[in-house]
Each structure stands twice: as structure tokens, then as C-alpha cells.
Amino acid sequence: MEIALLLADKILQLTLMVLLGYAIVKTKLLTSEQSYPISIIGLYIISPAVLISAFQVDYTPIILNGLYLAFIVSILLSSLLVFLGWIFKKILKLDNIEQATTVYSNSGNLIIPIVASLFGNEWVIYSTAFIVVQTMLFWSHLRTLICGRGSVPLRKVLFNINIIAIFVGLILFLLHIKLPTTIAHTLSSLGQMIGPLSMLVAGMLIAAIPFKEIITDKRIYLVSFLRLILLPLILLTVVKLCGFEGWVKNGEIILMITLLATISPSAATVTQMAVAYGQDARKASAIYGVTTLLCVFTMPLIIWLYQIL
């Protein structure tokens, strides 16, 4: 229960940042359209910095085994999310933005600061497993959904700066190479911006949507139910039935970190990509905003269930 309460407090802090982004537009200091360059900074500078920094830890067999477990579970849960998203699209007639915000969670922007606060910076590396898997999907499956095109060339996926950052970080980790202190601190400082930056962008985009439009749109609440309640309960059941906790040392905490990444609000990246590629950013940001506000209640509940089951 203590972890659940600490989680609720951290999520509340990030939610307040969303409100600050909302306020800066409402007071006419900036416009919602000016969130575009901030989104680009987040996607192409802050995110790669986070991914490389996360691998700058001491190499040990225990950490490596924990990463193996995190990757196995992340691939399993990500595949399940994509499959269930496809099923829900067929059954509930979800459009592409609704499907994307149902499937993809805020695994980096929200989870990294939460994991660092709850468990310490040394545990952040385990959250990178899900981030790596989801980042691959971001620039392949998600980009296809957002752009509305049949497929994305493999070259554009592999040579995206975020994918390159993953490979660079992983190689440095496996070869026991530590970056020079100046570079490491620069990347670390940039990485600390990921949570606040994403929350501010979301708030700025939400400010452009009439409040009545948000609270009266039943589709937003349908997607919120899928993202925050139904999918997390399905994934929690799968994790518990598979008995992954006993596979490695600290398996219970590693699984909790991975589960946290899957039960978080809709991904800020969906909103950022919708802005970058000229798609329906209003709907994406509305869903992101509502799920971010509601996750203050749903995420601690799911983690509490994880701990008592």
C-alpha cells in the first residue's frame, strides 16, 4: 500500500505540470500551436538522451538477468496490447487515434521519473526494456496508425534517432563503456526534462479544446476505460498466471516496473506524433489529458492488486 500511495503522489505532481501547460495557453503567454517545436525537442533530443543514459550503469550478471526478464515480459505484454487493440478496433469501431491511445502507454515520460522516485535511479534500467520494445513499435506500428499509410520503410525505423540511441546505449552497456563525465551529465540533465516537458505539451494542447467537448465525448471515456482499467486487469492476470517473479533475483520489483509501464495513461508520443504529422492532435491530447488525470486513481489500484494477489 505504501508504494501505491507514493505512486499516487508522484502522478499527482506530473498532473499539476499538465495544468501549468494548460494555464500558460489560457493566459495567452503562448498558443497551443507553439507546442510543436517543444514536441520536436522531446522526440528528437530529450528521448534519445533518456535512452542512452539509462544504460549507463555498472554491468553485473544480476542486472543482465533482470534485463532479460524485463525484455521477455515487455515483448509478451506489448504483443498482447497490439493484438487486443486490433480486437477492440474491430468490436468497438475505434478510429486510428483511439486505437493508438488505447494500445500505447506513457512508458517513458511518466514511468522513468516514477521509477526513479519510488525505487531509485539504479532501477530505471529495467524500465528501458519496455521503452525499447515500445519505441520500436512507436516508429513502425504507431507511426503507421498516425500517418494513415500502409507501411513504414524499414530504413526509416532502423535509422530513427531514438532507435539509434537504443543501440548505442545497449552497446555501451554490454561493452562496459562509460561515457565521459561531461557527456554523461549533459545527457542525464536532458533526460530529467522528459516528464515535465511532455506534461507541459499535453496541457498546452488540451487548452485548445473546449472543456465541454472533452467532458461530453463518450468515446474519450471508452478509450480511458480500455487503457486504464480493462487492459491493465488483463495484463495483471497474465503476469500473475505466468509466475515470472521467481525467474530472477528481485523479479517481483522488475515485474512491477514493467507492469507500471503498461498501465500508465495514453502515450504522450501519440499526441506529439499527431502534432508532428498533422493528424488529429486535439483528440489525442484530450484522451491523453483525461487518462493522465484519471490514472491518479487507477494506477495505484492496479499496483495494490499486484501486491496482494
CATH of the domain at 296: 1.20.1530
Is 299 exposed, middle or buried (CB count within 10 Å of its CB: 0-12, 13-18, 19+)?
Answer: buried
Angle between helices 231-242 and 251-262 (to 10 degrees): 160
- Three-state DSSP at 216 gives coil
Q: Given this model, what pLDDT does residue 118 score?
A: 84
Q: Given this model, what pLDDT does residue 162 score?
A: 77
What is the number of structural domains in the chain?
A: 1
Q: Which residues contact 86 (CB under 8 A, 6 or more apart)?
A: 99
> What is the C-alpha to C-alpha distance for residues 247 and 279, in angstroms, rounded to an integer?
43
107-164 residue pLDDT tens: 877 788 788 878 887 888 898 889 889 878 887 888 888 876 545 566 666 777 877 8
CB 202 within 8 A of CB 271: yes
Residue type at position 191: G
Q: How many CB atoms lie within 10 A of CB 167?
A: 13
* Lookup result for grid cell 495505484: 300
Q: pLDDT by residue for the chain (309 residues), tens digit each?
A: 677 888 888 888 888 888 899 999 999 999 988 888 887 888 789 888 988 988 888 888 888 999 999 999 999 999 999 999 999 999 999 999 999 999 999 887 778 878 887 888 788 889 888 988 987 888 788 888 887 654 556 666 677 787 788 889 989 988 989 999 999 999 989 988 888 887 888 788 778 777 777 778 889 999 999 999 999 999 999 999 998 988 998 999 999 999 999 999 998 778 778 877 778 877 887 898 789 888 888 999 999 999 888
Q: Given this model, what pLDDT does residue 154 score?
A: 62
Q: Given this model, what pLDDT does residue 156 score?
A: 66
Alpha helices by DSSP H, listed for 46-107, are 47-54, 61-92, 96-103
Q: Given this model, what pLDDT does residue 157 score?
A: 63
Query: From its phi and psi, is residue 176 left (phi > 0), alpha (psi between -120 and 50) or beta?
Result: left
Q: Which residues contact 205 (CB under 8 A, 6 or more apart)?
A: 32, 35, 271, 275, 281, 282, 284, 285, 288, 289
Q: 171 lies in which domain range?
A: 1-308
